């Protein structure tokens, strides 16, 4: 099969022939139709310090995908050949305290598809049957390919109730944008989004944001005044990882405010912990998706809301045949506003 392959530490991938993977008795083999390019994939391709310290080679990367089941192990049930599926990229141990309590997203021995085991940048992938999500309702292949990052957005947006609440979203990359659409779908009152990219801020409006803030020249408090807000934001989604984002979010939260934090900080930064304590703020880390309640919520919302589906689909900005992967990665690295899709039916 054709695959993107990193044979050894160092920058770049090889687009080459690799053996098709064989499923074990509890596994499912999937013909990959579409994949999304994630920021993690860019790190792995560039082989920066993060990749060098977290990734082992040889490796087929890629963890955002949509495909068709072609083989099912004898221990797998409720999945059939021909099913159209996406995949949960966190393979868990099943035996640690959290796994046995049903909190699999908190497994202490998580292995990442496309990070610690071969992934989806290939014509075929094998994953455990319990990691396969079957699409029982119609979904566009490109949207199915971004269920992983859409799940991050849903997990963040549903971490706290946003019904009737005022929501601040810092960072309008694809996941931040999708979280705006989810908060609007669920019933937030005011949604304010921040970024430094005019194009991303314009997309934030199309996702349902009531106001946007270019934090390179404006402050979040200005948006509060423009919306006649009196007491600060009730819920925050920190999606950027910027050293400035969380401190400014804390400054603008109402007493008792709740913050869901998905963005990974690129460097340490100071926090006014006195304000966190005296304003009784909650800061909750978000990683991946709840297995599999988030997946159920994603599918249900897309099935019942055409508007949300259109907004999620609009995140996809360009599509490339798999053999044009270099151009696709260059486009993704150029800080574009949307998701880049690779088509594995064109190898």
Reported in sequence order, the residue ranges of the chain that DSSP labels E, i.e. its strands, are: 2-5, 14-17, 27-36, 64-72, 84-87, 90-91, 111-112, 124-128, 132-134, 167-170, 191-195, 211-214, 233-238, 253-261, 282-285, 316-321, 339-343
Angle at 346 between CA 341 and CA 347, to 5 degrees: 105
Token look-up 């999708």 returns 178
Q: Is 289 helix (H, G, I), strand (E, B) or coil?
A: coil
Concerning whether 40 is annotated as a catalytic residue, the answer is yes
Annotated active-site residue in 16, 35, 43, 304: 43
Distance CA 88, CA 317 (A): 23
Task: Give the burial string for 70-93 (b: 16+ CB within 10 Å, else e).
Answer: eebbeebeebeeebbbbbbbbbbe
Angle between helices 306-313 and 174-186 (to 10 degrees): 170
Angle between helices 325-333 and 39-46 (to 10 degrees): 110
77 flagged as catalytic: no
Q: Are 234 and 166 in contact (CB under 8 A)?
A: yes
**Helix, strand, coil shares, percent, the chain, to 5:** 35, 25, 40
Given a contact cutoff of 8 angstroms between Cβ atoms, the answer to whether 68 and 30 are in contact is yes
Q: Of 16, 35, 40, 135, which one is the catalytic site residue?
A: 40
Residues assigned a catalytic role: 40, 43
């Amino acid at each position: 099969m054709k695959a993107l392959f990193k044979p050894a530490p160092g920058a770049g991938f090889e687009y080459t022939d690799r053996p098709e993977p064989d499923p074990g008795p509890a596994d499912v083999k999937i013909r990959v139709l579409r994949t999304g390019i994630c920021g993690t994939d860019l790190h792995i391709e560039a082989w920066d310090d993060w990749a060098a310290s977290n990734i082992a080679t040889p490796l087929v990367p890629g963890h955002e995908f949509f495909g068709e089941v072609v083989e099912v192990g004898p221990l797998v049930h409720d999945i059939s050949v021909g099913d159209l599926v996406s995949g949960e990229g966190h393979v868990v141990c099943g035996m640690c305290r959290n796994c046995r309590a049903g909190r699999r997203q908190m497994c202490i021995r998580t292995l990442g598809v496309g990070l610690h085991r071969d992934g989806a940048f290939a014509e075929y992938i094998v994953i455990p049957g319990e990691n396969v999500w079957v699409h029982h309702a119609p979904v566009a292949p490109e949207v199915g390919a971004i269920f992983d990052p859409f799940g991050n957005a849903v997990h963040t947006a549903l971490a706290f109730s946003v019904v009737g609440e005022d929501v601040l979203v810092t960072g309008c990359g694809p996941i931040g944008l999708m979280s705006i659409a989810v908060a609007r779908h669920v019933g937030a009152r005011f949604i304010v989004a921040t970024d430094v990219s005019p194009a991303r801020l314009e997309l934030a409006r199309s996702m349902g944001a009531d106001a946007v803030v270019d934090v390179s020249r404006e402050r979040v408090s200005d948006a509060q005044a423009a919306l006649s807000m009196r007491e600060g934001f009730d819920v925050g989604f920190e999606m950027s990882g910027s050293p400035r984002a969380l401190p400014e979010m804390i400054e603008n939260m109402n007493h008792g405010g709740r913050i869901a934090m998905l963005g990974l900080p690129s460097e340490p930064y100071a926090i006014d912990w006195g304000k966190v304590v005296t304003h009784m703020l909650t800061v909750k880390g978000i990683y991946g998706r709840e297995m599999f309640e988030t997946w159920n919520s994603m599918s249900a919302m897309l099935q019942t809301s055409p508007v949300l589906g259109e907004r999620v689909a609009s995140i996809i900005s360009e599509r490339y045949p798999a053999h044009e992967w270099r151009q696709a990665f260059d486009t993704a690295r150029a800080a574009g506003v949307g998701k880049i899709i690779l088509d594995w039916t064109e190898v």
